[in-house]
């Protein structure tokens, strides 16, 4: 390395000054000349690390160094590389300021003018007694971007990739077309120029910012555009995707019922669900604006931030890389409502639940193909018993419109398809808000969580009555005594007959009842009429086990019948005989055919019961 000339001023830039091109800009303008520029090795190490990670700022900084090298070759300046490269420990502690300290140390050692575009760095350097030249980010009116030429008023997103013709999604939310917008493929140089312009705009525009940077991927927010830039090794080639909202929709345009508006206003837990591109975020922004106009304190949690909301609504990003930290701050801020865009990973659902249980009104945006799918995504992530406290309303958006609204309610009842009163358990009822009809029941059966769809009883009831009449007439031709029929589902009936008629209806080896089932097209459970005394005696000998499932076994627990010989039934169907263990358990290997029979019967709504013999 050549030594500096004694009569020249010495200038030491930091990383921000190099990336921002401050020195080359001054040389071009004639503001800087006949100086020796000493670039610390710590700056070069930082730029090299950023470029190796695929970050555009690293490439931009290295290009600035090359530009300074060209000026040095012309004799305009002297260019030197000074100081030590940071060691691994200093690199690891870079966020704590270790590399910045190395760079300042170089300026201090050379008694140089320290040039920076970083306000914090300038304040620390001044405190250390350095001669600091701080250049503030320029306040300027920004012109159009190169990507603007790809957009029309109805363009939702533009997709650019090396060697591929530019593509765009255009149209309304309900009618989007993915189409070619230019025959000529994108070139590498064109995409690099676009990406660097976007990066520069994100750095210099106070209303824009870099959302996140990874190895090979950068996400920017430039005004109302969300931009994702990907490079190898993350992607197979350079690609730029720009997404822009084409509409800001008022909640009034969705024609919400007064009941739904009231639910939204009463600080509930609401999921806004729908497939990708359905208009979930647009609706969420409309809800946020509506609540803000009603005088509520509304905040958002977004990664990245792209909801189009009024200035009064503060949009929060992950704090120190974590939305959990953001939630901690929000709980101190105490908003009336928080819009969580989007709830996807297990940690997101846990954060959503924690804030809702702390009393904050929560609206979460979730990808789902059906309204009930959004609820199912909570199962296993949130304790089943508190789901209705966390989420009590699901608004399903499809093609920009509200397609369905479901509400959740917690109760204790016998699940649909079961009959015995002692099978009552906590059940989450999922109902349609407008009709009030129950559509699903969610409950535990053993170790399984069952999401059971329900039919519309009022619509099915007449057909069930006709079916009961037909089954009764058919069975009566085999029975000499009375016949009672009860439809328990669309394809299952419970039939009671006298004891003496049972053999005639079931037949040898079950042949007759099988023929009847084939003729009627439904499954039939045949049981005998019982007197009160017979029923009491049967109940004393019959047991309804608690059924659990471990990794190795399906376990039937009957603690009050330990050591006794029993027969196990599913409905009226015999399964197997066994002796109950001394702890009241019957263990069936989980991979056995019997275990599959038990689980299949439970899924079909059959009652598993045990009779002493």
CATH number of the structural domain spanning residue 179: 3.30.450.90
Domain, as residue range, for 368: 251-453
| Predicted local confidence at residue 529, as pLDDT | 72
End position of a domain, from candidates 498, 528, 558: 528
Residues 6+ apart with CB under 8 A from 83: 40, 41, 42, 102, 103, 105, 106, 109
Is 407 in the same domain as 499?
no
Measuring CA to CA, which residue among 412, 420, 460, 413 is closest to residue 606? 420
Is 126 in the same domain as 197?
no
- Residue 133's beta-bridge partner residues? 115
Q: How far apart are CA 93 and CA 88, in angstroms?
A: 9
| Predicted local confidence at residue 46, as pLDDT | 85
| Predicted local confidence at residue 530, as pLDDT | 61
Helices (H), 405-455: none
DSSP assignment of 568-595, as one string? EEETTEEEEEEE--TTSEEEEETTSHHH
140 within some domain: no
Is 174 in the same domain as 30?
no
What's the residue count for the chain? 613
Q: What is the pLDDT of residues 491-521, one digit of tens each?
A: 778 788 888 888 888 887 678 888 888 888 8
Is 275 in the same domain as 360?
yes
Q: How far apart are CA 314 and CA 325, in angstroms?
A: 16
End position of a domain, from candidates 437, 453, 469: 453
Is 481 in the same domain as 448?
no
Measuring CA to CA, which residue among 151, 217, 220, 160 is closest to residue 190? 160
Is 109 in the same domain as 181?
no
| Predicted local confidence at residue 165, as pLDDT | 95
* Count of structural domains, the chain: 5
Is 374 in the same domain as 255?
yes
400 within some domain: yes
601 within some domain: yes
Is 428 in the same domain as 574?
no
141 within some domain: no
Is 113 in the same domain as 205?
no
Residue found under tokens 């590399």: 99
- Six-digit token pair at 545? 């086990």
SS3 212: strand
Is 268 in the same domain as 380?
yes
- Six-digit token pair at 492? 């299952």
161 within some domain: yes
SS3 91: helix
| Predicted local confidence at residue 455, as pLDDT | 59
Question: What residues of the chain score a pLDDT lower than 50?
Answer: 1-4, 93, 456-460, 538
Is 93 in the same domain as 27?
yes
Is 417 in the same domain as 506?
no
Q: What percent of the chain has pLDDT over 70?
A: 88
Helix axis angle, 41-52 to 56-74, nearest 10°: 140
Measuring CA to CA, which residue among 439, 413, 445, 409 is closest to residue 426? 413
The enclosing domain of 520 has a CATH number of 3.30.300.20
The enclosing domain of 122 has a CATH number of 3.40.50.1010
DSSP assignment of 232-289, as one string? TTTSSS-EEEEE-------GGGGT--HHHHHHHHS--EEEEEESTTSSHHHHHHHHHH
End position of a domain, from candidates 243, 273, 292: 243
């Amino acid at each position: 390395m050549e030594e500096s000339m004694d009569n020249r001023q010495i200038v030491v830039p930091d990383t921000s000054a190099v990336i921002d091109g401050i020195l080359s800009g001054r040389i071009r303008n004639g503001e800087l000349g006949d100086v020796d520029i000493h670039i610390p090795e710590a700056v070069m190490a930082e730029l090299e690390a950023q470029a190796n990670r695929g970050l555009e700022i690293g490439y931009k900084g290295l290009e600035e160094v090359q530009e300074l090298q060209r000026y040095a070759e012309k004799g305009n300046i002297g260019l030197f590389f000074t100081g030590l490269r940071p060691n691994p420990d200093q690199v690891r502690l870079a966020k704590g300021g270790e590399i910045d300290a190395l760079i300042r140390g170089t300026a201090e050692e050379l008694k140089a003018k320290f040039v920076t575009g970083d306000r914090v760095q300038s304040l620390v350097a001044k405190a250390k007694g350095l001669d600091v030249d701080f250049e503030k980010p320029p306040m300027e009116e920004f012109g159009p971007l190169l990507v603007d030429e790809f957009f029309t008023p109805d363009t939702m997103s533009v997709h650019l990739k090396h060697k591929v013709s530019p593509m765009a999604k255009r149209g309304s939310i309900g009618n989007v077309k993915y189409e070619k917008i230019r025959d000529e493929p994108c070139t590498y140089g064109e995409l690099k120029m676009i990406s660097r312009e976007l990066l520069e705009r994100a750095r210099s525009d106070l209303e824009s910012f870099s959302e996140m940077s990874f190895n090979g991927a950068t996400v920017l927010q430039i005004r109302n555009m969300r931009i994702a830039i990907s490079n190898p090794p993350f992607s197979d080639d350079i690609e730029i995707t720009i997404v822009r909202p084409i509409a800001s929709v008022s909640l009034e345009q969705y024609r919400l019922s007064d009941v739904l508006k009231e639910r939204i206003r009463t600080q509930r837990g609401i999921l806004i669900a729908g497939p990708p591109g359905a208009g979930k975020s647009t609706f969420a922004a409309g809800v946020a604006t509506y609540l803000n106009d009603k005088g509520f304190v509304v905040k958002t949690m977004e990664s990245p931030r792209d909801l189009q909301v009024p200035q009064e609504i503060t949009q929060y990003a992950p704090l120190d890389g974590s939305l959990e930290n953001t939630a901690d701050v929000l709980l101190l801020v105490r908003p009336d409502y928080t819009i969580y865009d989007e709830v996807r990973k297990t940690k997101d659902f846990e954060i959503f639940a924690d804030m809702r249980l702390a009393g904050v009104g929560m609206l979460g945006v979730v990808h789902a193909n059906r309204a009930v799918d959004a609820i199912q995504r909570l199962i296993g992530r949130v304790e089943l018993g508190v789901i209705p406290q966390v989420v009590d309303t699901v608004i399903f958006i499809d093609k920009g419109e509200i397609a369905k609204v479901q509400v959740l309610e917690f109760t204790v009842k016998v699940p649909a398809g079961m009959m015995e009163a002692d099978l009552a358990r906590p059940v989450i009822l999922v109902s349609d808000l407008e009709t009030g009809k129950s559509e699903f029941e969610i409950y535990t059966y053993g170790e399984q969580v069952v999401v059971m769809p329900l039919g519309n009883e009022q619509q099915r009831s007449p057909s069930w009555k006709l079916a009961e009449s037909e089954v009764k007439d058919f069975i009566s031709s085999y029975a000499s005594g009375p016949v009672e029929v009860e439809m328990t589902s669309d394809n299952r009936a419970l039939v009671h007959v006298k004891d003496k008629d049972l053999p005639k209806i079931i037949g040898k080896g079950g042949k007759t009842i099988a023929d009847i089932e084939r003729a009627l097209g439904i499954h039939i459970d045949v049981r005998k009429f019982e007197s009160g005394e017979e029923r009491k005696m049967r109940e004393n000998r019959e047991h309804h086990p608690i059924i659990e499932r471990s990794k190795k076994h399906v376990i039937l627990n009957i603690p009050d019948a330990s050591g006794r010989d029993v027969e196990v039934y599913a409905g009226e169907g015999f399964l197997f005989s066994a002796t109950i263990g001394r702890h009241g358990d019957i263990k069936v290997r989980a991979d056995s055919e019997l275990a599959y029979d038990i689980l299949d019967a439970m899924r079909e709504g059959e009652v598993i019961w045990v009779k002493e013999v």
